[in-house]
Amino acid sequence: MWVTRDGYVRQELRADGRYDEARGERQSAYQGDYQISGNDITYQDDTGFTADGYFENDVLYHAGMVMFREKAKD
């Protein structure tokens, strides 16, 4: 799970190549497919909209957001 520092945006990158993004209280605000090539990630949501981002030092930079890997809860 990738999360903005304030927790407003939460993005799950599933192993099957699908993503599910929540915004605030709105669960599954955006869903679609993603592909990773090296440090780059490309998205296409289910409406056809495309976006991209990249990983650097275990941080995801996407659409002007900085997202951090959520630590597993014990």
- Reported as a single tens digit per residue, the pLDDT across 7-64 is 999 999 999 999 999 999 999 999 999 999 999 999 999 999 999 999 999 999 999 9
Residue 17 falls inside a structural domain:
yes
Q: Evaluate if pTM is beyond 0.75.
A: yes
Number of separate domains in the chain: 1
Q: Which domain holds residue 34?
A: 2-69
**Residue 39 and residue 8: Cα distance in Å, rounded?**
24
Question: Cα dist. 70→3, 27, 52, 60, 74 in Å?
Answer: 6, 17, 20, 11, 12
- pLDDT, tens digit (0-9, with 9 covering 90-100), for 25-37: 999 999 999 999 9
Among the residues of 1-74, which ranges form H helices?
none
In a domain, 74, yes or no: no
Identify the band that residue 71 occupies on the pLDDT scale cut at 50, 70 and 90.
confident
Residue 50 covered by a domain: yes
What DSSP element (H or E) covers 26?
A: strand 26-37
Does residue 16 lie in a domain region? Answer: yes
CATH of the domain at 33: 2.40.128.290
Q: How far apart are CA 58 and CA 69, in angstroms?
A: 7
**Residue 35 within any structural domain of the chain:** yes
